[in-house]
């Protein structure tokens, strides 16, 4: 009863998935592809991936920003964990959780944002799974997928295997080999995408701690989970997930190469490329310009010389030539000059 309710609830999503596939199917038919061929229907599944991933670009940007924010916050998170280390009482755990959430809020990051693209693709993944599992049912139609189109999709093959075939429900060796190859590709691209993010766009500090341990666990668990579950996936679903992984890998490579997180190997590699590019064109980088620039001269105005305070004796002493003591005639003192004083002058009528 619950599964039937869920199916009815997701009917609009199934219709949306088939609408995109039928639109691309018509496009490939206009190019001369066989309407019942695997290229037309396989191309429709790839077209579905392109549409979904374009719609998810804003969430992918949020995912990258959230992952970068978590990397930057790793030192603060470690301090918070050290603060409550060894405290197992409920009150301490509650305070630690509150401070952790406040730290995320103050820095505008959310750990769940790093999982949004995968979480939102999951319903589309299962919708495609149901559509491909149902195309073998006579009279099945949903949305724009009419019974005629369903019959064409039912006989469409990729490398000689029906796109609706799975490893478990097929008795052909070629189909089992193809499904195993696609399962390996799906698991390998999932592993490579996650490993690319951890090795190139995570600083050394972020590679330790609980968050890093979770990332490392997911790095190995997700490929294994997809590998084990892939035996029940139709070839079309495996094609969808592998193509989506390749899109993620290319998109992530572009972001890491051109906008890496500071303090990561990708950031250092970008600095080296910028430096080499600048040297090739004869342009100094900002770092080189800063290092080679001479220090600026001190342009502060010279301080005005303050007059020295004089004593009363210095103020009463007449200003003159400091060397006047050696030439008393030029000192201006009548008592020390060469002229006789008034008392030494001869009186008129004196002795002859």
Each residue's pLDDT tens digit, 94-143? 888 888 888 877 777 776 666 666 777 778 878 888 888 888 777 777 88
Q: Is 151 left (phi over 0), alpha (psi -120 to 50) or beta?
A: alpha
- Please identify which residue in the block is written with the tokens 């890496």: 260
50 has pLDDT over 90: yes
Give percent of the chain with pLDDT exceeding 90.
Answer: 19
CB within 8 Å of 329: residues ≥ 6 apart: 337, 338
Residue 111 in tokens: 């750990």
CB burial of 317-350 (b: ≥16 within 10 Å; e: otherwise) equals eeeeeeeeeeeeeebeeeeeeeeeeeeeeeeeee
45 has pLDDT over 90: yes
The span from the CA of 285 to the CA of 159, in Å, is 53
DSSP tag of 145: B
Lowest mean pLDDT segment, chosen from 1-10, 41-50, 122-131, 180-189: 1-10
Residue 161 has phi, psi (to 5 degrees) of -120, 135
**pLDDT per residue as tens digits for the range 268-304:** 888 888 888 888 877 655 545 444 445 555 555 555 5
DSSP tag of 283: -
**pLDDT per residue as tens digits for the range 174-212:** 999 999 999 999 999 888 887 877 777 666 665 666 666
Q: How far is CA 212 from CA 104, 191, 218, in A?
A: 17, 15, 10
Q: What is the mean pLDDT of the chain?
A: 76
């Amino acid at each position: 009863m619950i599964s039937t309710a869920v199916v009815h609830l997701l009917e609009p999503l199934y219709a949306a998935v088939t609408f995109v596939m039928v639109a691309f199917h018509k496009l490939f038919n206009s190019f001369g592809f066989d309407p019942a061929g695997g290229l037309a229907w396989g191309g429709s599944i790839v077209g579905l991936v392109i549409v979904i991933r374009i719609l998810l670009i804003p969430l992918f940007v949020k995912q990258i920003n959230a992952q970068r924010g978590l990397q930057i916050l790793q030192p603060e998170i470690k301090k918070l964990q050290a603060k409550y280390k060894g405290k197992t009482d409920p009150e301490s755990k509650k305070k630690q959780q509150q401070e952790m959430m406040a730290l995320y809020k103050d820095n505008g990051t959310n750990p769940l944002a790093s999982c949004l693209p995968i979480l939102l693709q999951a319903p589309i993944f299962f919708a495609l799974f149901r559509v491909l599992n149902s195309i073998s049912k006579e009279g099945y139609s949903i949305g724009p997928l009419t019974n005629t189109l369903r019959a064409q999709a039912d006989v469409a093959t990729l490398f000689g295997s029906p796109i609706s075939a799975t490893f478990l429900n097929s008795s052909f060796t070629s189909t089992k080999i193809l499904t195993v190859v696609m399962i390996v590709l799906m698991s390998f691209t999932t592993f490579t995408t996650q490993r690319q993010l951890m090795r190139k766009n995570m600083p050394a500090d972020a590679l330790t701690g609980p968050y890093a341990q979770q990332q490392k666990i997911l790095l190995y668990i997700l490929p294994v989970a997809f590998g084990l579950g892939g035996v029940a996936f139709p070839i079309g679903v495996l094609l969808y997930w592998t193509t989506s992984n390749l899109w993620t890998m290319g998109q992530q490579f572009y972001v890491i190469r051109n906008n890496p997180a500071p303090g990561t190997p990708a950031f250092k590699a970008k600095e080296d490329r910028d430096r080499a590019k600048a040297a090739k064109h004869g342009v100094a980088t900002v770092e080189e310009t800063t290092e080679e620039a001479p220090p600026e001269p001190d342009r502060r105005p010279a301080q005005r010389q303050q007059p020295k305070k004089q004593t009363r004796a210095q103020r009463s002493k007449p200003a003159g030539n400091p060397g006047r003591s050696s030439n008393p005639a030029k000192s201006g003192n009548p008592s020390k000059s060469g002229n006789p004083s008034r008392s030494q002058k001869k009186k008129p009528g004196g002795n002859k």
